[in-house]
Amino acid sequence: MWRGIMILARVLSAVFRPYYFPLVGFVALFTFTYLRLLPPAYKVTVLLLVYALTILLPRLCTFVYRRLRGWTALQLRKRERRSVPYVFFILSYALCLHLMLRLHLPHYMCGILLASLMIQLVSIVVNVWWKISLHAAGAGGLAGALVAYSVLFAFNPVGWLCGVILLCGAVGSARMLLRQHSLGQVVAGTLVGVVCGAGGILLA
């Protein structure tokens, strides 16, 4: 049974990586809101742009950086070595947000990138002194964004919010079971995600 729990924890950590937050946010918008009526070609173009600049490019830069330093993926997880990968992600997210603004995408769509960028910026500042859980921040960002969209689109988020809160708990528990973070780091990451997730959407 314990082995099964650990496998599930690894699966949750792999599936709910923090850099998936922007892509998941756009998929949700194009699936569960009136934006599903947009032309398929438009939606695919936006999703490809988001994937390329928030997942593919920063991960490629991080991989090259790690290989140049001769570190394994596990060695890169040390707090003092996470700053440079954070910078890669921040620059990529900023570029994606800039392009979206230039393309005049609606503010509530650009808000997803702004929220993600805020999470990254706060995390890199905190990381100078303390290792915060980015997995928890990503999950918390979904909760914050959901609350913000419920305000913008005037719908009752309780049902969805219950599911996202359970997801936050599952992801946080997985990170602790894998001994990647303490309870405090998970709680702090979740709070950062909720505040930045909601703030980014509402401020965009």
Q: Which H helix or E strand runs over 35?
A: none
Distance of CA 68 to the CA centre of its chain: 26
Quick: pLDDT tens for 16-49: 888 888 998 899 889 988 888 999 999 999 999 9
Cα–Cα distance, 63 to 50 (Å, whole number): 19
Answer yes or no: are the C-beta atoms of 151 and 34 closer than 8 Å.
no
Answer yes or no: are the C-beta atoms of 181 and 175 closer than 8 Å.
yes
Quick: pLDDT tens for 142-174: 999 999 999 988 888 899 999 999 999 999 999
Token pair for 40: 């398929």
Q: What is the pTM of this model?
A: 0.88
| Contacting residues for 190 by C-beta, under 8 A, at least 6 apart | 133, 136, 137, 139, 140, 143, 168, 172
**Phi and psi for 105 in degrees, rounded to 5?**
-70, 150
Quick: pLDDT tens for 85-127: 888 999 999 999 999 999 999 888 999 999 999 998 898 888 7
